[in-house]
């Protein structure tokens, strides 16, 4: 198969007005991916499917990924001259990464037995602009997977033939696979090695008035956890 | 071919004056239904006994596998993968181990590779055997074929149990190898089971392959055209029955599959009978692979000494790894951000995606055929809903 | 009530004396018909238990009925999700009295390995009463056989009369339980307070 750069150049020649980015992958054995603008995604995907050299007729996997707004801290070493002496100072630069939802398509070719090409689509934000074009008209196999992403992440696929909740019930509100989803609080108390479960479970019990009683209870918990 | 048939109209039969004859009947089959293989539901619209519309409904076993996988460490997800497709825990383990090995760049020792092949092929044997038992039961052969299938399955489960400690949930593979080595006695016992399996298949086939009822119920029922199968991302025996030669053991040559000489059975018509036959032939090929692997298995370590189980933190990056599970392409997609937990943990479930064109296969057939068609897809709900 | 010594003595002579209660319970205990009701992985072990090697038929419980109207026993074999829970309760309500429930596996008991899931019901006992619980993930078929035997023991010891007779013999007690409905985030109500309260911790 051609390299990703060649494919990118060919797409940009064939599909007008497309801007593509090749995203690096720090994992040496993993594949790099093509970031496609949402507006042109359908045409790019169609090109990939129909091009005689690529013939990516098989859309194996569709994944939703949630990237909430985060502050990324990068440490940079700087040389500063303090009172005539040169010193190395570490400085933390904070950059705000805007939040978005991402849909990743893994495309293979059954006819030519090669692949994968990884296609990434990004929504503008996580709140109201979560529309992406659906690729189900190109690959039927994406149908249920896109529905699943709609259900669990809240990406709205324009052009999807039957966009309904698939795993959760219809009355359900919220998108449980997003990183900031808060699950209903229905744990029961139980000494458990999963710290998060224990924290959840403990919320159900009256707040200790007596600090001494609290510590004894904590000790008891610890004991029951490590018999 | 690529326009989804989802928007088709329900057209009742009309008499000469243009008014519909009779009524359409809507049935919700499942989630508690003996032939839906678990908690699967189909909303079926029937004209008489003919299916005119069928919508699968999922989610009754949605156990939040992916969400849990993002909150626990890489290794802790291994036992959860057992519970995806609970008939084939070994291949699930392998798919996940393979993906993490790709992510972390771990190597697998020779002996472990052989053990993995042995386990995967044994899994394929027992999965296909059980599946045939189940779907013959869906056709009305209550009990007997299932009894035969489960009798053989128990023999393989005994092998799994003696090496991993559990019958179904083996949790056997690790990143960079397998958890424990197999003993010589175990290998001898496996040779015996594998040696006898051909005889069992002959017996099984005498009852089924040319059985009048089976032929009548399966030939040209639930036909899936080749182009539709590819476009709908169908994988595994379903795809090969439709005439596409695509087996990841040959295409990706993961593990050490390139060393084995085996054929990929491919069907012609894409009907249920072809799916049945492809599975039977696949089992025979598996026996070939197993015999070879059991004869060739070298001595040596079973874990990569560089592999670290505790405090395992792969570098940031993302990978997609896939194996040919008994049901189709089982893939894992992991995004690591350098922390002990994966940032994104995704399972590509073959039986979920194979259901995409259930409706297309069932339209125009009788409701009792829809049950058999569903049986021939080979679904396990733990994987469909995750 | 005939005393045990006399009964034994008579039995040696070939005269069998029994009470109506014993006879009735003996019959019931040896023909417990389960509902064909598999939810997840544990269901495969349930099937294995009814197949050739383990042979559930030895305990008179091999007649799996697909319809709740013909079943005595519900084996909750697998994870009960929130989407499935209303249906489990409805199926239970549709079973005729006397009816029993076996919670098979960690998931049915408490959510098991999937306890942290947002869609997983943390124990089927939040909505329906459970008679026998089998720990394990999955429990071996032998464990299911043991559960059936435990249930048979329970049935054999049930009284036909008196204040501590079981629920199905009390005309005034309702055998059906309220079916939860799908809410916006969770089931409503999240548990049946008449059946299940969070366990009180003694400090
Ligand atoms: S207890 Fe274990 S085996 Fe049983 S349903 Fe739950 S996860 Fe599956």
For A27-42, write each residue's pLDDT tens digit.
777 788 888 888 888 8
CATH number of the B65-385 domain? 1.10.645.10
B143: left (phi over 0), alpha (psi -120 to 50) or beta: left
Q: How far apart are CA A20 and CA B298, in angstroms?
A: 48
Mean pLDDT of A151-160: 88
Q: What is the pLDDT along chain B (386 residues), one digit of tens a residue?
A: 334 344 444 555 666 776 666 678 888 887 887 776 778 888 888 888 888 888 888 888 888 888 888 888 888 888 899 888 888 888 999 999 999 888 888 888 888 999 999 999 999 999 999 888 888 888 887 778 888 888 888 999 999 999 988 888 888 888 888 888 888 899 999 999 998 888 988 988 888 888 888 888 888 888 888 888 888 889 989 889 888 888 888 888 888 888 888 889 998 888 889 989 999 999 999 998 999 898 888 888 888 877 777 778 888 888 898 898 898 889 999 998 888 888 889 999 998 898 888 888 888 888 888 888 888 888 888 888 88
Residue of B59, B150, B382 with shortest CB distance to C40: B382
Per-residue confidence band for A226, with pLDDT thresholds at 50, 70 and 90 = very low
How confident is the model at residue B1, as a pLDDT? 37
If you measure from the C-alpha of residue C40 to the centroid of ligand 1, how many angstroms do you get, rounded to a whole number? Answer: 7
Least confident of A138-152, A192-206, B169-183, C97-111: A192-206
Q: What is the pLDDT of residues C61-116, one digit of tens each?
A: 888 888 888 888 998 888 899 888 998 999 899 888 888 999 998 888 888 888 88
Cβ neighbours of residue B161 under 8 Å, at least 6 residues apart?
B167
Cβ-contact B26, B45 below 8 angstroms: yes
Chain C interface residues facing chain B, Cβ-Cβ under 8 Å? 36-41, 43-45, 47-48, 51-53, 66, 78-79, 81, 83-84, 87, 91, 113-114, 116-120, 137-138, 140
Structure confidence by residue, pLDDT tens digits, C135-156:
988 898 999 999 999 999 999 8
Cα–Cα nearest to C124, from C150, C95, C89, C91: C89
| Domain ranges for chain A | 4-67+100-158, 185-227
Let me know: does A91 contact A75? Beta carbons within 8 Å.
Answer: yes
Pocket test for ligand 1, best of C37, C124, C137, C141 (most atoms within 8 A of CB): C137
The burial of A114, by beta-carbon neighbours within 10 Å (0-12 exposed, 13-18 middle, 19 or more buried), is given as middle
- Locate all alpha helices (DSSP H) within B261-326, ordered by sequence: 272-296
**What kind and span of H or E run contains C104?**
strand C100-104
C134 Cα–ligand 1 center, Å: 11
Residue with CA nearest ligand 1 atom 6: C107
Chain B positions in Cβ-Cβ contact with residue C47 (cut-off 8 Å): 146, 150
Ligand 1, atom 5: closest residue by C-alpha: C78
- Gyration radius of chain A's alpha carbons: 25
Beta bridge partners of B27: B44
DSSP β-ladder status, C100-104 and C132-134: parallel
ipTM over 0.90: no
Atom of ligand 1 at shortest range from CA of C136: 1
Which among B134, B276, A171 is positioned nearest to C187, based on CA atoms? A171
Number of domains in chain C: 1
Surface of B (210-269) touching C: CB under 8 A:
none
Q: Which atom of ligand 1 is nearest to the CA of C78?
A: 5
**Please, what is the Cα angle at B144 between B143 and B146, to 5 degrees?**
70
Q: What is the CATH number of the domain that holds C137?
A: 3.40.50.12280
Within chain B, all domains assigned CATH 1.10.645.10 are found at 65-385
**CA A35 to CA A38: how far, in whole Å?**
9
CB contact under 8 A, A63 and B346: yes
Q: Which residues line ligand 1 (CB under 6 A)?
A: B 83; C 40-42, 78-79, 105-107, 112-113, 137-138
Q: Which CATH superfamily is domain A4-67+100-158 in?
A: NADH:ubiquinone oxidoreductase Nqo5 subunit (3.30.460.80)
Tell me if C90 is assigned to some domain.
yes
* CB within 8 Å of chain A, chain C residues 44-73: none
Partners of residue C140 in chain B, C-beta under 8 Å: 167
| Banded model confidence at residue A193, pLDDT cuts 50, 70, 90 | low
How many whole angstroms separate alpha carbon C124 and alpha carbon C44?
A: 19
Query: Residue C41 is nearest to which of B33, B62, B168, comparing CB atoms?
Result: B168
Q: Model-level pTM?
A: 0.87
In a domain, C43, yes or no: yes
- Give the full edge-to-edge strand order of the sheet including C132-134: C73-77, C100-104, C132-134
- Note the pLDDT of residue A223: 43
Asked if the model's pLDDT at residue A214 lies above 60, the reply is no
Residue C95, domain extent: 31-159
Strand order in the sheet with B24-29: B24-29, B41-47, B50-57
Q: What angle do CA B152, C139, B67 make, to 5 degrees?
A: 105
**Which of C45, C76, C134, C138 to mutate to test ligand 1, by most ligand atoms within 8 A of the CB atom?**
C138
Residue B320 contacts A where some CB pair is shorter than 8 Å: yes
Q: Pick A166's closest partner by Cβ from B58, B251, B329.
A: B58
Q: In this complex, do C182 and A181 lie within 8 Å of one another by their Cβ atoms?
A: no
Protein residue with least CA distance to atom 2, ligand 1: C137
């Amino acid at each position: 198969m051609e390299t990703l750069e060649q494919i990118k150049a060919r797409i940009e020649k064939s599909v007008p007005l497309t801007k593509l980015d090749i995203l690096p992958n720090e994992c040496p054995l993993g594949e790099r991916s093509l970031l496609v603008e949402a507006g042109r995604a359908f045409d790019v995907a169609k090109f990939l499917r129909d091009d005689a050299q690529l013939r990516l007729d098989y859309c194996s996997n569709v994944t939703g990924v949630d990237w909430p707004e985060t502050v990324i801290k990068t440490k940079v070493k700087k040389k500063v001259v303090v009172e005539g002496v040169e010193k190395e100072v570490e400085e933390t630069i904070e950059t705000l990464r805007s939040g978005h939802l991402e849909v990743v398509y893994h495309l293979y070719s059954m006819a030519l037995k090669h692949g994968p090409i990884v296609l990434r689509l990004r929504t503008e934000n996580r709140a109201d602009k979560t529309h992406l074009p659906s690729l189900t008209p190109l690959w039927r196999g994406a149908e249920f997977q896109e529905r699943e992403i709609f259900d669990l992440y809240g990406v709205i696929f324009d052009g999807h033939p039957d966009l309904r909740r698939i795993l959760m019930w219809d009355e359900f509100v919220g998108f449980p696979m997003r990183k900031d989803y808060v699950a209903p609080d229905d744990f029961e108390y139980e000494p458990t090695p999963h710290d998060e479960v224990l924290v959840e479970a403990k919320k159900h019990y009256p707040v200790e008035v007596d600090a001494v009683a609290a510590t004894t209870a904590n000790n008891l918990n610890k004991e029951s956890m490590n018999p | 071919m690529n326009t989804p048939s989802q928007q088709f109209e329900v057209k009742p039969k009309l008499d000469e004056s243009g008014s519909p004859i009779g009524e359409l009947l809507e049935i919700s089959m499942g989630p508690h239904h003996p032939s839906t293989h678990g908690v699967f539901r189909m909303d079926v619209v029937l004209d008489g006994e003919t299916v005119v519309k069928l919508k699968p409904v999922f989610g009754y076993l949605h156990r939040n596998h992916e969400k849990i996988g993002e909150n626990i460490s890489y290794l802790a997800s291994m036992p959860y993968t057992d519970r995806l497709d609970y008939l084939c825990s070994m291949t699930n383990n392998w798919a996940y181990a393979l993906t993490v090995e790709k992510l972390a760049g771990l190597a697998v020792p020779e002996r472990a590779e052989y053990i993995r092949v042995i386990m995967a092929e044994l899994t394929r044997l027992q999965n296909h055997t059980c599946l045939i038992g189940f779907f013959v039961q869906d056709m009305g052969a209550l009990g007997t074929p299932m009894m035969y299938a489960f009798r053989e399955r128990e023999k393989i489960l005994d092998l799994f149990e003696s090496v991993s400690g559990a019958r179904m949930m083996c949790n056997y593979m690790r990143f960079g190898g397998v958890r424990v080595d197999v003993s010589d006695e175990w290998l001898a016992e496996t040779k015996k089971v594998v040696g006898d399996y051909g005889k069992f298949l002959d017996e099984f086939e005498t009852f089924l392959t040319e059985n009048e009822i089976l032929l009548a119920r399966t030939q040209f029922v639930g036909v899936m055209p080749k182009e539709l199968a590819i476009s709908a991302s169908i994988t595994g025996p379903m795809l090969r029955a439709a005439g596409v030669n695509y087996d990841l053991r040959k295409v990706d040559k993961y593990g050490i599959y390139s060393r084995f000489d085996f054929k990929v059975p491919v069907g012609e018509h894409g009907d249920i009978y072809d799916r049945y036959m492809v599975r039977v032939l696949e089992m025979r090929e598996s026996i070939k692979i197993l015999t070879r692997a059991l004869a060739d298995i070298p001595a040596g370590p079973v874990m990569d000494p560089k592999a670290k189980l505790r405090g395992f933190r792969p570098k940031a990056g993302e990978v997609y790894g896939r194996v040919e599970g008994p049901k189709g392409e089982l893939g894992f997609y992991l995004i690591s951000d350098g922390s002990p937990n994966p940032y994104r943990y995704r399972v590509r479930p073959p039986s979920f995606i194979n259901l995409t064109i259930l409706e297309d296969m069932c339209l125009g057939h009788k409701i009792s055929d829809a049950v058999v068609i569903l049986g021939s897809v080979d679904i396990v709900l733990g994987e469909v809903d995750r | 009530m005939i005393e045990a010594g006399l009964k034994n003595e008579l039995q040696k002579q070939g005269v069998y004396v029994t009470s109506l209660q014993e006879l009735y319970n003996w019959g019931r205990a040896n023909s417990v018909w389960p509902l064909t009701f598999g939810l997840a992985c544990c269901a495969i072990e349930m099937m294995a238990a009814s197949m050739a090697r383990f042979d559930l038929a030895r305990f008179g419980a091999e007649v799996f009925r697909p319809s709740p109207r013909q079943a005595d026993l519900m084996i909750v074999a697998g994870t009960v999700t929130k989407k499935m829970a209303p249906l489990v309760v409805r199926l239970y309500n549709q079973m005729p009295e006397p009816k029993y429930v076996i919670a098979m596996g960690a998931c049915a008991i408490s959510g098991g390995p999937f306890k942290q899931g947002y869609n997983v019901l943390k124990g089927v006992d939040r909505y329906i009463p459970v008679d026998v619980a089998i720990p394990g993930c999955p429990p071996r078929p032998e464990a299911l056989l043991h559960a059936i035997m435990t249930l048979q023991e329970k049935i054999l010891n049930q009284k036909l009369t008196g204040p501590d007779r079981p629920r199905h013999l009390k005309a005034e007690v309702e055998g059906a339980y309220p079916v939860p409905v799908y809410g916006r985030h969770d089931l409503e109500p999240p548990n049946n307070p008449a059946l299940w309260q969070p366990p009180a911790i003694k400090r």
